[in-house]
Amino acid sequence: MPVSLRYLLLLVGVALLSAIASIIVQHHQTTHRAEVTARQLTGGNVRAGSHAIRRYGCGACHEIPGIPGADGHVGPALTGFSRRAEVAGRLSNDPANLIRWIRHPQQVSPGNGMPDQGVTEQDARDIAAYLYTLR
């Protein structure tokens, strides 16, 4: 193979690796910004929220991206939750309403399919923080 062709292939390879690295860095920055924003909105912790979602068994009824085994189809899928206008089709999607819904869904809408699970205030904030990272 001629030297000029090897040089060209090397340049293409370096450019490709650079592009991939840039995409990874951009994804990391976007994820970090979403987590910071979610924490500021809710007073919750995203990582603790993912643990609380598993602990309360939310994935038995909901499909929740990023939560292993959360592939339920009883309740709505929570993909893109942060972009939704409403919580449960009844409340505007703001942190106070979401936390209230997570803690007391039967008070908000008696007889709906989501049971009261005894979610603590902090766990609700953490779960809300996690849900607000879902784009």
3 compared with 37, residue with greater pLDDT: 37
Answer whether CATH 1.10.10.350 is correct for domain 3-131.
Answer: no
> 5 is written with which tokens?
């062709």
Mean pLDDT in the chain? Answer: 93
Give per-residue pLDDT as tens, 110-122: 999 999 999 999 9
Q: Is the pLDDT of residue 5 over 90?
A: no
Domain boundaries, the chain: 3-131
Q: What is the band of 95 on the pLDDT scale with cuts at 50, 70, 90?
A: very high
- C-alpha 92/C-alpha 51 separation (Å) is 26
pLDDT at residue 75, as a whole number: 96
pLDDT at residue 62, as a whole number: 98
34 compared with 70, residue with greater pLDDT: 70
pTM of the model: 0.82
List all residues 6 or more positions away from 43 whose beta carbon is below 8 Å from its beta carbon. 125, 129
pLDDT at residue 10, as a whole number: 82
